[in-house]
Chain A
């Protein structure tokens, strides 16, 4: 009597194996044995956090991973906390980290005993863009107007941005160098806060990422002056790039994933495939188009080369600002 049951079970087992291998999660060899920790280098609610949680939700919705991905915020010390955590978990196969540009700048600015060259690159998902914004009520329409207004203010022009020694202040320093102007840089705790203060008239300009200012732009509260991109951003077709205006100013915010030193190659392959599938998902395509993100997928050695090159650039930038040590 036990025979049919056993056979049924065997068929069921075979069928489920078949289902598994037919699904998009069919990585050969290695699959995670427990939930995967996704460390985020920033606090909750910011641009990086929102994006990381978006990735998690798409992975879950599209069933791209056999095990759930658990986002954990370790934003302390401009990401120093997250970097240390990654360094302390050498050889861990169930840990990945969502990065932003503080991936380079934080270890350059404070000695936390972390060398990013040792980490395992997984995938770069996108490059976020920067745009120069003013309040829509101001008279400033063009970059020339802007430079003139800043010069006329005699150094009291208020430029708001997120933190110090991070992306916004670097972009501000680039502007100051290029145009020979000087502004008063006012640091805020997040991009949304900067946008609100610009709309409220408490600061005079910002270099927000498009996603942070988009809502106010659509409501006609903020005006983009110029984009720090090589080509025009599709969401703002009428906004010229700095390059078009004759100024070689380009700056990106990378949105990538890395893993600890010594992760097994099979595990690296698994996550790489997961993010590749993610980058092809409909939702991600829609999001990047709407939020003016440049989806730019890069993996492996090429990504590592990119990281190291960017680290060099940021070391120069920080030195120029007198912040590097």
Chain B
């Protein structure tokens, strides 16, 4: 088979001693970069990009891919240990990862995240190897109406499957959508919602600022109040026995993980979507199909596994449109694309034909990077868990510093630091009032895409709203959205019915 021949050639490149060393350095660096709140794969790749001129392009892309993968693994670490998603892709990991850590199962949660990431990465790389070329056409079939329908589906997954108070979920989504309109309107170019004429609002409110504020600062305030002097986290130890137990637990979740991987790969492949909606949708789907769905959000291992498989699968998926179409699916792939241009490669339909060495070297390095990442990650889990044994008073201060530095680093604007503090206080009160935070963050991440694709469709179709249901792909997504949106209503009716039939009997 021609494919296997190419792949074998690729492995000959990626398995050279130098490239193997590069992979290990890359994933380790990526892991730590990803684990820092505020620093994600984008920063890692951006920092290293100029250094890649000292090595040949095929080694350079391997280094960048290794950092990319390492950071995707690392993102889960701060989500689980600190409750702060290091990147938007790891938001869903906090839902169950954080409660697990609070119950003293941080080690297990980290094992789950690492193995799930590995499974997600592996399945998606295999899909990538087999179907890279034909799948490029799927990405092309996605125009603005399809993008809108997909984002709508991601939102309704949340309303329908979120399980939180539906009204509060919708309120938070609306709030997030309002925040997402701050800054410059893409369609008209006019500034919108520039509060107090602060020039900082011109570039909008970034996801990172909101997430660090709400999850980082808000969480600290909340924990200080609830725990007073007692540490909120039970320190966990990690032994080989636990590792074995963890892997055994994960073995039971193969269904969740394969669903998550396939879904993540396909959603990640779509140029505009990326790993964040993929992880959230995988979480929703896992909750829907799980036998233990009632414990989701309270420390269910399945709730860690599903988003982690999906976001790693999606990060592989987003390489596909970058390589085959020259269109980056995420900010990080945009940087990788920039790197390829610098090395004199033209990403796009001709790349597979003109530069097979490069392409297959990259694909094979995804296999090695994935394997290296899971090994390095598992080996370092005791180090990460050890961080939790710090006295709460110390940890709290360190986290706060990380939050502020992490918020300042990417934009280098003090404006963002003040916003983080503001969001932290608001987040604290919203949490006290029991409002769910995830829909807010999700709405801010996906809001701009949703608004843009909606308006692009209406402009192209001369204001015809039916355009969304006239195209088969987007019609399917819209129909699914409608079902998900109505699910809570149906559930409520069912519960009422059941309540009536069991009336008189003691409550469960």
Contact = CB atoms under 8 A, between A and B. Distances in A.
Nearest to B354: A218
Contacts of A286: 344
B325 interface: yes
Contact of A219 (B186, B191, B202, B349): B349
Interface string B81-109: 00000000000000000000000000000
B407 interface: no
B346 interface: yes
A214 B325 CA distance: 11
Contacts of A163: 186, 189
Contact of B143 (A187, A197, A221): A197
B328 A186 contact: no
A128 interface: no
B189 A219 contact: no
Interface string B152-191: 0000000000000000000000000000000110111111
Contact of A57 (B53, B326, B334): B53
A53 interface: yes
B203 A77 contact: yes
A45 B328 contact: yes
Nearest to A200: B140
B412 A72 contact: yes
Contacts of B21: none
B350 A219 contact: yes
Interface in A170-217: 184-189, 192-193, 195-197, 199-203, 214-216
Contacts of A188: 456
A189 B448 CA distance: 11
Nearest to B343: A57
Nearest to A193: B327
Interface residues of B, number: 49
B335 A166 contact: no
Interface stretch (A12-20, A78-86, A295-303, A305-313): A78-86
Nearest to A219: B349
B327 A78 contact: no
Contact of A199 (B53, B140, B186, B344): B140
A249 B155 CA distance: 46
Nearest to B471: A202
B199 A84 contact: yes
A60 interface: yes
Given A50-B338, A75-B203, A165-B189, A186 B331 contact: no
A60 B50 contact: yes
B347 interface: yes
Contacts of B139: 196
Contacts of A110: 189-191
A49 interface: yes
A171 B307 CA distance: 44
B187 A187 contact: yes
A158 interface: yes
Contact of A81 (B189, B202, B321, B341): B202
A195 B328 CA distance: 12
B340 to A, nearest CB: 10
Interface of B: 42, 46, 49-50, 53, 139-144, 183-184, 186-191, 199, 202-204, 271, 321, 325-328, 331, 334-335, 337-338, 341-342, 344, 346-351, 412, 452, 456, 459-460, 462
Given A78-B189, A196-B271, A215-B325, 15 more contacts: A45-B338, A50-B337, A50-B338, A53-B342, A81-B203, A84-B199, A110-B189, A164-B188, A196-B325, A199-B140, A215-B326, A215-B350, A216-B325, A218-B350, A219-B349
Interface of A: 44-45, 49-50, 53-54, 56-57, 60-61, 72, 74-78, 80-81, 84, 109-110, 156, 158, 163-166, 184-189, 192-193, 195-197, 199-203, 214-216, 218-219, 221, 286-287
20 contacts: A44-B46, A45-B337, A50-B338, A56-B50, A61-B53, A76-B203, A76-B204, A80-B202, A163-B186, A166-B189, A186-B460, A187-B186, A187-B187, A192-B328, A197-B144, A202-B144, A214-B346, A215-B350, A216-B348, A218-B350
